[in-house]
Amino acid sequence: MTLAPRRIVVQEIRGTATGRACQIMAQQKTTARPNRMVSTDPIKDYMRQHGCGFPEALEALAAQLGPPTAQGVRRALQTLGRAGAPVDLLEALEVWSADQMQQAA
């Protein structure tokens, strides 16, 4: 008869510990969530703020940045080449960027 009360006490202690552990885990889960999603897409943000379409937003943001540098164009072409872009597309972009650089100068 003395074993039964001890078993009940052990079960109650285990239940309490488990309940506390679950409560702590639940608190950690709720505090780790962000309050709201943060956009890292400037084009989508511009479109939303100004109520315009993609082409208009892209052109407006490009105008804010100004013309690309020669180094920026080279890096973009290298990235496209590594990504497996067709050679004729890369050559056309090189010719186009050279023309753009001459017009900007």
Average pLDDT per consecutive 10 residues, the chain (105 residues; last block may be shorter): 48 52 53 65 91 93 85 89 89 85 73
What gap in Å lies between CA 38 and CA 54, rounded to an integer? 20
61-to-42, 68, 77, 100 alpha-carbon distances in Å: 8, 13, 21, 18
pTM of the model: 0.41
The pLDDT of residue 13: 47
The pLDDT of residue 51: 95
What gap in Å lies between CA 102 and CA 96, rounded to an integer? 10
The pLDDT of residue 97: 83
What gap in Å lies between CA 39 and CA 91, rounded to an integer? 34
